[in-house]
Protein backbone atom coordinates (compact mmCIF):
# COMPACT_ATOMS: atom_id res chain seq x y z
CA UNK A 1 0.00 0.00 0.00
CA UNK A 2 1.44 3.39 -0.95
CA UNK A 3 2.03 6.24 1.44
CA UNK A 4 -0.36 8.50 -0.48
CA UNK A 5 -3.22 6.01 -0.25
CA UNK A 6 -2.94 5.72 3.52
CA UNK A 7 -3.08 9.42 4.37
CA UNK A 8 -6.48 10.62 5.41
CA UNK A 9 -8.27 13.80 4.37
CA UNK A 10 -6.93 15.82 7.33
CA UNK A 11 -3.29 15.21 6.45
CA UNK A 12 -3.77 15.85 2.75
CA UNK A 13 -5.11 19.37 3.36
CA UNK A 14 -1.63 20.88 3.33
CA UNK A 15 1.90 20.12 2.18
CA UNK A 16 3.19 20.71 5.74
CA UNK A 17 0.88 18.06 7.15
CA UNK A 18 1.86 15.55 4.48
CA UNK A 19 5.53 16.20 5.20
CA UNK A 20 5.00 15.87 8.95
CA UNK A 21 3.06 12.62 8.57
CA UNK A 22 5.67 11.15 6.23
CA UNK A 23 8.53 12.06 8.55
CA UNK A 24 6.80 10.72 11.64
CA UNK A 25 5.76 7.55 9.79
CA UNK A 26 9.38 6.92 8.81
CA UNK A 27 10.46 7.32 12.44
CA UNK A 28 7.79 4.89 13.59
CA UNK A 29 8.74 2.42 10.85
CA UNK A 30 12.32 2.58 12.09
CA UNK A 31 11.10 1.89 15.62
CA UNK A 32 9.25 -1.17 14.36
CA UNK A 33 12.25 -2.37 12.34
CA UNK A 34 14.47 -2.22 15.44
CA UNK A 35 12.02 -3.55 18.06
CA UNK A 36 13.71 -6.59 19.55
CA UNK A 37 11.99 -9.72 20.80
CA UNK A 38 12.47 -8.71 24.44
CA UNK A 39 10.70 -5.44 23.53
CA UNK A 40 7.81 -7.30 21.88
CA UNK A 41 9.15 -7.11 18.32
CA UNK A 42 10.59 -9.58 15.84
CA UNK A 43 14.27 -8.61 15.74
CA UNK A 44 16.36 -11.27 17.48
CA UNK A 45 18.44 -9.98 20.35
CA UNK A 46 21.78 -11.22 21.53
CA UNK A 47 23.95 -8.10 21.81
CA UNK A 48 21.66 -5.51 20.19
CA UNK A 49 24.10 -5.11 17.31
CA UNK A 50 21.56 -6.11 14.64
CA UNK A 51 18.98 -3.54 15.75
CA UNK A 52 21.66 -0.84 16.04
CA UNK A 53 22.89 -1.56 12.52
CA UNK A 54 19.82 -0.02 10.83
CA UNK A 55 20.68 2.88 8.58
CA UNK A 56 18.65 5.26 6.41
CA UNK A 57 19.72 7.02 3.22
CA UNK A 58 18.20 9.28 0.60
CA UNK A 59 20.87 8.35 -1.98
CA UNK A 60 20.75 4.54 -2.09
CA UNK A 61 20.46 1.36 -0.09
CA UNK A 62 22.90 1.27 2.84
CA UNK A 63 25.62 -1.33 2.48
CA UNK A 64 26.93 -3.79 5.00
CA UNK A 65 29.77 -2.73 7.26
CA UNK A 66 31.68 -4.16 10.19
CA UNK A 67 30.25 -3.42 13.63
CA UNK A 68 29.87 -2.63 16.38
CA UNK A 69 27.27 -0.10 15.30
CA UNK A 70 26.67 3.12 17.23
CA UNK A 71 22.97 3.29 16.39
CA UNK A 72 20.55 4.46 13.78
CA UNK A 73 20.58 7.71 11.85
CA UNK A 74 16.93 7.21 10.91
CA UNK A 75 15.59 10.03 13.09
CA UNK A 76 18.01 12.53 11.59
CA UNK A 77 17.27 11.45 8.02
CA UNK A 78 13.51 11.49 8.68
CA UNK A 79 13.71 14.99 10.20
CA UNK A 80 15.19 16.41 7.00
CA UNK A 81 13.30 14.23 4.50
CA UNK A 82 11.57 16.11 1.70
CA UNK A 83 8.42 14.75 0.05
CA UNK A 84 10.17 14.42 -3.30
CA UNK A 85 13.05 12.34 -1.88
CA UNK A 86 13.18 8.56 -1.98
CA UNK A 87 14.21 6.77 1.18
CA UNK A 88 16.12 3.53 1.68
CA UNK A 89 16.32 1.75 5.01
CA UNK A 90 18.63 -1.21 5.52
CA UNK A 91 20.80 -3.03 8.01
CA UNK A 92 24.57 -2.75 8.02
CA UNK A 93 25.06 -6.09 9.79
CA UNK A 94 26.11 -8.66 7.19
CA UNK A 95 24.01 -11.32 8.94
CA UNK A 96 20.78 -9.27 8.85
CA UNK A 97 19.55 -10.99 5.68
CA UNK A 98 20.09 -14.44 7.19
CA UNK A 99 18.38 -13.42 10.42
CA UNK A 100 15.39 -12.03 8.52
CA UNK A 101 14.86 -14.73 5.87
CA UNK A 102 16.53 -17.70 7.57
CA UNK A 103 19.23 -19.88 6.06
CA UNK A 104 19.72 -23.59 5.55
CA UNK A 105 23.06 -24.84 4.29
CA UNK A 106 26.75 -24.08 4.48
CA UNK A 107 28.07 -20.54 4.33
CA UNK A 108 31.14 -19.42 2.39
CA UNK A 109 33.54 -20.65 5.09
CA UNK A 110 31.84 -24.01 5.61
CA UNK A 111 29.72 -23.37 8.71
CA UNK A 112 26.40 -25.23 8.46
CA UNK A 113 23.16 -23.51 9.46
CA UNK A 114 19.55 -24.52 9.82
CA UNK A 115 18.24 -21.15 10.89
CA UNK A 116 14.61 -20.17 10.80
CA UNK A 117 13.77 -16.66 9.59
CA UNK A 118 12.43 -13.97 11.90
CA UNK A 119 10.80 -11.89 9.12
CA UNK A 120 11.23 -8.62 10.99
CA UNK A 121 11.41 -6.57 7.77
CA UNK A 122 8.19 -8.04 6.39
CA UNK A 123 6.54 -7.63 9.78
CA UNK A 124 7.42 -3.93 9.88
CA UNK A 125 6.25 -3.39 6.29
CA UNK A 126 2.95 -5.10 7.07
CA UNK A 127 2.45 -2.56 9.86
CA UNK A 128 2.81 0.42 7.45
CA UNK A 129 -0.93 1.29 7.26
CA UNK A 130 -1.15 1.22 11.07
CA UNK A 131 2.06 3.23 11.37
CA UNK A 132 0.74 5.97 9.09
CA UNK A 133 -2.58 6.02 10.94
CA UNK A 134 -0.71 6.36 14.24
CA UNK A 135 1.41 9.21 12.87
CA UNK A 136 -1.74 11.02 11.69
CA UNK A 137 -3.38 10.53 15.09
CA UNK A 138 -0.30 11.80 16.94
CA UNK A 139 0.09 14.86 14.74
CA UNK A 140 -3.62 15.65 14.64
CA UNK A 141 -3.65 15.63 18.42
CA UNK A 142 -1.02 18.38 18.61
Give the pLDDT of the chain (142 residues) as one tens digit per residue.
566 655 656 666 688 889 999 999 999 999 999 999 999 999 999 999 999 999 999 999 999 988 888 888 999 999 999 999 999 999 999 999 999 999 999 988 999 989 999 999 999 999 999 999 999 999 987 7
Looking at the structure of the chain, the number of domains it has is 1
pTM as predicted:
0.84
Measured CA distances, 51 to 11, 82, 128 (Å): 31, 25, 19
pLDDT of residue 2: 62
Q: Which domain holds residue 131?
A: 3-140
Enter the DSSP assignment of 52: H
Helices (H), ranges, 1-142: 3-6, 15-34, 49-52, 74-79, 96-101, 120-126, 128-140
If DSSP codes are grouped into helix, strand and coil, which group holds residue 37? helix
Amino acid sequence: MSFASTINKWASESEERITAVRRRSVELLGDEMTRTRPQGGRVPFKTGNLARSILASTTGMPTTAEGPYPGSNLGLVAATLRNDQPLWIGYQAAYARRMNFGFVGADSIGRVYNQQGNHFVEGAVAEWPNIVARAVAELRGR
